[in-house]
């Protein structure tokens, strides 16, 4: 997610003030559907299909949440969205192919403007480090430039979410977990995604919790591409 993303946005430690709330409830109503009504997820993840014209939440309508001392987005503002071109049937040609994420990553000229607007949506100022993040990462078929899938994630760079993204990519590309299930888990609450999809991670291995002999074969797709 982050290393490569930083290379494109070039920026890196964005400094913003934020108050971590106990939950993810908004200050006001925030749009969660794309302009014209985005179609339902074709992957079965129940996440909206990416739409670059989806409205950005209004300034001050979103709050950063927290779980296990890690920041979470406001799901009324940032529910996640998926790339309609990525399906279970073509993961070998998309997210499981090294270098593929670079072909769909939006240019910094696009994300620079989005990032500033997203920061205002979350009332983020100038004294907390963070970076613009795909909630559903590109290596799990996340929408590249939909405002509903991007937010300024407070914290150090790189952060713990990177490892979760890579290991879920391993699991999907090794056939342990369906793509849609992984997408949904990381969008709903990335800090519990391993448990939510039935994985156990230990000793550098990613295995099924109910069948520890079935483990991922190694990183596919996200090895050097990140998010």
Over residues 47-98, the pLDDT tens digits come to 999 999 999 999 999 999 999 889 999 999 999 999 999 999 999 999 999 9
- Highest mean pLDDT among 39-43, 115-119, 159-163, 174-178 belongs to 174-178
208, part of any domain: no
pLDDT tens string 138-190: 999 999 999 999 999 988 778 889 999 999 999 999 999 999 999 999 999 99
Gap between the Cα atoms of 20 and 15, Å rounded:
15
Instruction: Please state, in angstroms and as integers, the Cα–Cα distance from residue 49 to each residue in 38, 42, 44, 53, 70, following that order.
Output: 6, 7, 11, 12, 26
177, part of any domain: no
43, part of any domain: yes
100, part of any domain: yes
65, part of any domain: yes
61, part of any domain: yes
212, part of any domain: no
pTM value is 0.78
Which domain does 101 fall in, by range? 2-159
Number of domains in the chain: 1
Res 14 pLDDT > 70: no
Handedness of CA 8, 10, 16, 21 (dihedral sign): positive
* CA nearest to 155, candidates 64, 68, 62, 70: 70
203, part of any domain: no
């Amino acid at each position: 997610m982050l290393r490569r993303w930083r290379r494109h946005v070039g920026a890196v430690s964005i400094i913003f003030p934020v108050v971590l709330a106990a939950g993810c409830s908004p200050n006001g109503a925030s749009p969660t559907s794309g302009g014209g009504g985005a179609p339902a997820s074709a992957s079965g993840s129940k996440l909206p299909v990416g739409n670059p014209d989806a409205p950005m939440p209004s300034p001050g309508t979103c709050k950063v949440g927290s779980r296990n001392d890690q920041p979470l987005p406001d799901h009324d503002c940032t529910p996640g969205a998926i790339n309609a071109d990525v399906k279970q049937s073509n993961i070998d040609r998309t997210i499981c192919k090294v270098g593929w994420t670079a072909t769909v990553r939006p240019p910094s000229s696009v994300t620079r403007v989005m990032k500033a607007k997203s920061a205002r949506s979350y009332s983020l100022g100038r004294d907390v480090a963070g970076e613009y993040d795909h909630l559903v990462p590109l290596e799990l078929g996340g929408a590249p430039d939909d405002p509903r899938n991007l937010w300024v994630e407070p914290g150090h760079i790189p952060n713990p979410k990177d490892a979760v993204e890579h290991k879920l990519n391993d699991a999907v590309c090794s056939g342990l977990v369906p793509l849609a299930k992984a997408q949904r888990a990381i969008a709903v609450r990335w800090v519990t995604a391993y448990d939510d999809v039935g994985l156990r991670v230990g000793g550098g291995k990613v295995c099924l919790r109910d069948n520890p002999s079935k483990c991922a074969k190694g990183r596919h797709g996200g090895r050097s591409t990140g998010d």
